[in-house]
Chains A and B, each alone.
Chain A
């Protein structure tokens, strides 16, 4: 696609500017037809150029365009695109078709086939070739036909996809021709589908169309559904296509259901990550830590700092930035957590409401500290290469970053369960939460355990921050957006129960995603909140309430 060249920077150095312009122009012309420069093939089009100059006789211009396209010359596509963009003009002096290139304040004429410079142009030296919308559409079509035979399979594939999206009977022949030469299996499939779609739009015989219907139905996406719907207008195809539509719709519904489940699980694992640290501090220790969200934020900012350092000093390590950030985030958030526990929370055990207020104050201080150091605006945290992109699983489109977060959340959860159930430290935590005095008599240093448990919960929140920095804006308000959700997850699942948090997070995520299509994102969230409020009325202790003495705490 030709663009106006941005050359104003070079206005003071004309020689350099002209050189730049030429090089840029060659580069712009090059990608679509590498052979355009050698002039040999492109010259084939020269006699046909005059076919474009017909004043306002658009039918003649269309014929000229078709003639150019019929050559299948690689230079034809860029030429026609230039025409479509209105860059082709007629020089009055010799009635020659030239490409007009703007350079600073001046216009230059350039040969459209060779890229050779033909001299400066005044404003009145040329006439633009008139085109209308029909011609623009025609050009789009023929250019797509030309690109079907480009050398790069990616370009061929894109062209075929474009034709699939805007199926038209005119494409049947170019697609057939292209298919005969195509040897890339993936592109072939796409082309066959595009061909089938085009056949449906053409006046091909009914048998052929029926065959095409099957091919289209096999694609089984929304586009295919649209094509099939259009086909029902044809009496001979109506019956079969209605049948196929039902099949496709069923399949689509199934995939949509699966997609919803996946989105729900992915949202649920985000909730799980955010809430799991809270499940320890609130659920196990009974401390309402309103600064929990800020621990998540600290983790995210640690990631930011790590990436900055890597970018400036060891750019080759960027792919490993998250792996480096994880332990650091755990340490930073964990240490801040221990500090908070030692300085504030330990004076407030047994006064949960006061703890809530004090930690809220701490959250304000942490937020403002980060705001003063890093500024109030969003910070850019990059995704490593291996996390960008997506893959298709049947009708599911799964992005790698979401996938990574789901797996990561499961790993963190698993490790935490192991830590609590299988290690000496976990045993001490459970002992202290179940019966502080008894644990103390058995020789456990309870204040120490308290501090470490709080540090653990905060550290896990920090780790969550590393993961959330990949899908959310890293700003001082990051934590605020998760705090209410995380509390609801913990309360919903049942306090003092990691599995409750697990089930609570995932089911809330899925519920949210299933409500969204019917109620919209905001209303869906409101509904979830109301449902939780009502749910807590029915089961004040959550899904999996603690039983026995610990429940009385």
Chain B
């Protein structure tokens, strides 16, 4: 696939960050400063909906990192998303305290219902926010590390890798459906009351969660830019485009893949953790392989390997989903299916791809024109007796 220059990616990403920050502040202002009924008022459910989109966008961004830059098509990122979500959900469950239906100060309702005597060991510590927040990153990261270490070391690539990532999320789904696992089984975790002492239903909390999601997305973009622009990112793209060649040159291909895979999984975990308090529930359905594949199509629609494209794709597709499932529920799967086919066959670079391509080409033309110009000047200067190489190289370096 064609590579877009990191400078261009950075420019777009910085633009996106600015839009995200300003946009989210405007939305929050319109939500909080005006009363319901006022034409300027943005309803709270819209704020939460936008927050959900942005959480999905962060998930899409994490997929873009592994797929767009690492060349690893993951069909199981929903698993990391859901694990992050469960970690947050466990914290929120512990926050309920004795306000549950059964009024048990220690055990969540579903455990009382199953006649459990005490908290399972893995629920300890989740009453502290810092611990839960750590787990949001650590659990998906650790799983990804172990999984990736095994997979990349034995050179499982391409569709094989895709299929076993799908098997991974499928196995997790089956596991989380079991009541004995201690994660609420079929119903998952829900009925949340507070987060950090603030009521989760309150308008202000919702606005804060939305802003936190926007902020996390901005930080994710910054991290992605930093990774992509670094030597690491350049080598990663080399691994993506010519794995064997990169290996022969001496790069430890599996290390590059493993690092980006783990970072991306942790990012997906954060996305899940931000998603859960805004939708108010997490259940094993989030592990369904179909969810993970749907997330991949967000990236494909926006344009893989463009960073900003994944965000655009996630927001657009999910907006479409909200619209169609409301207005024409029968049609949505047709639209989604057609989207998969059309994007892969006709728009392999997604929506944003052509933009980047256009700008990139113009830049290259400009670069070539500049080089020709400087070459012409150099020849003129050579005639004047000046050493041509120094100036040409200086100019070329500046153009980079």
A: which residues have CB within 8 A of B? 288, 290, 344, 347-348, 352-358, 360-365, 367-369, 371-372, 480, 484, 487-488, 491, 522-523, 525-526, 529-530, 532-534, 536-538, 540
Contact = CB atoms under 8 A, between A and B. Distances in A.
B392 interface: no
Given A365-B334, A372-B330, A352 B167 contact: no
A529 B170 CA distance: 8
B150 A537 contact: yes
B340 interface: yes
A488 B337 contact: no
Given A368-B330, A484-B166, A526-B174, A362 B341 contact: yes
Interface stretch (B127-135, B152-160, B226-234): B152-160
A269 to B, nearest CB: 21
Interface residues of B, number: 44
Interface stretch (B11-19, B273-281, B292-300): B292-300
Interface in B176-194: 177-178
B254 to A, nearest CB: 12
Given A358-B340, A529-B170, A540 B160 contact: yes
Given A364-B333, A522-B174, A529-B167, A536 B156 contact: yes
Contacts of B151: 536-537
Contacts of B336: 361, 364
B345 interface: yes
A488 B177 contact: no
Contacts of A288: 159, 162
B164 interface: yes
B386 interface: no
22 contacts: A347-B345, A348-B344, A352-B158, A358-B340, A360-B293, A362-B341, A365-B334, A367-B333, A368-B330, A368-B333, A368-B337, A480-B290, A484-B167, A484-B289, A487-B163, A487-B166, A522-B175, A523-B178, A533-B167, A536-B151, A540-B157, A540-B160
Q: What 10 pairs between A and B have smallest CB-CB spacing?
A: A361-B340, A364-B337, A365-B337, A368-B333, A529-B171, A361-B337, A358-B344, A361-B341, A354-B344, A353-B73
Given A290-B293, A357-B300, A484-B166, 14 more contacts: A348-B345, A353-B73, A353-B158, A360-B340, A361-B338, A362-B337, A365-B341, A484-B167, A523-B178, A529-B174, A530-B171, A536-B160, A537-B156, A540-B154
B244 to A, nearest CB: 10
Q: Main secondary structure on chain B at its contact with chain A?
A: helix
Contacts of B357: none
B289 A358 contact: no
A358 B341 contact: yes
Contacts of A358: 340-341, 344-345
Nearest to A347: B345
Contacts of B340: 357-358, 360-362, 364
A344 B343 CA distance: 11
Interface in B250-293: 289-290, 293
Contacts of A367: 333
